[in-house]
């Protein structure tokens, strides 16, 4: 029976890297970020609803969503943020559900890659939650390096989410990403062997 696993973490914990590693081992990835972009892509019903809610400035000259403008509007206004979520979230759920069901019907194990799984209370929609863990100081350091942010901006982004330590207590599985990418790869493979998704490696050398 194929499994549906919710993959989550916090900003800059390495969740995308883990998703790539799991994909290499045959898991099918349903990505919330990709679905969110599709929900408001050029010519979509979602984008037309964004235009109605935020005005013409929300659409670029090329007919796509002006992400910078919309982002600035919702950053300081929780009412507008809720309005955008009310447009995008139902479409995203519909897209992700259809993709998940297609993969399950084909007999694949499915990873639902959802950054804000706990924030959006989606843990009951999956069989298990796997969380990619890095401590908050590591998150801040990686975010500063990756996005060229000040320490204040990096901390603001990290602290805008439920703390990674709280999430780790809620998850079924915690994948340690405190060190190198090689160690992360080994941790993922160890987990997959323990769970029976892949066979243990055997040394065939004489």
Give pLDDT tens digits for 141-191: 999 999 999 999 999 889 989 999 999 999 999 999 999 999 999 999 999
| Residue ranges of domains in the chain, CATH in brackets | 1-27+109-194 (3.40.50.300), 35-94 (no CATH)
Does position 139 have pLDDT exceeding 90, yes or no? yes
Known binder of ligand: residue 63? no
Does position 71 have pLDDT exceeding 90, yes or no? no
Does position 206 have pLDDT exceeding 60, yes or no? no
Known binder of ligand: residue 8? no
**SS3 state of residue 4:** strand
Known binder of ligand: residue 15? yes
What contacts 36, CB < 8 A, 6 or more positions away?
A: 88, 92
CA–CA separation, 42 vs 37, rounded Å? 10
Known binder of ligand: residue 26? no
* Entry pTM: 0.89
Known binder of ligand: residue 14? yes
Q: Could you tell me the two tokens for 152?
A: 């204040």
Known binder of ligand: residue 156? no
Does position 203 have pLDDT exceeding 70, yes or no? no
């Amino acid at each position: 029976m194929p499994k549906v696993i919710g993959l989550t973490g916090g900003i800059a914990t390495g969740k995308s890297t883990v998703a790539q590693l799991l994909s290499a081992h045959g898991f099918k990835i349903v990505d919330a970020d990709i679905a969110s972009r599709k929900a408001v892509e050029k010519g979509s019903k979602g984008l037309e609803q964004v235009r109605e809610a935020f005005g013409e400035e929300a659409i670029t000259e090329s007919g796509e969503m002006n992400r910078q403008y919309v982002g600035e509007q919702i950053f300081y206004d929780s009412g507008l943020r809720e309005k955008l979520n009310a447009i995008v979230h139902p479409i995203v759920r519909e897209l992700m559900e259809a993709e998940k069901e297609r993969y399950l019907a084909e007999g694949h194990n499915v990873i639902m890659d959802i950054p804000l799984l706990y924030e959006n209370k989606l843990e009951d929609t999956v069989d298990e939650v796997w969380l990619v863990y890095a401590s908050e100081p590591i998150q801040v350091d990686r975010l500063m390096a990756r996005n060229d942010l000040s320490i204040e901006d990096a901390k603001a982004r990290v602290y805008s989410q439920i703390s990674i330590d709280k999430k780790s207590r809620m998850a079924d599985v915690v994948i340690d990403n405190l060190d190198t990418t090689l160690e992360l790869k080994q941790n993922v493979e160890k987990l997959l062997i323990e769970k029976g998704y892949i066979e243990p490696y055997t040394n065939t050398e004489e």
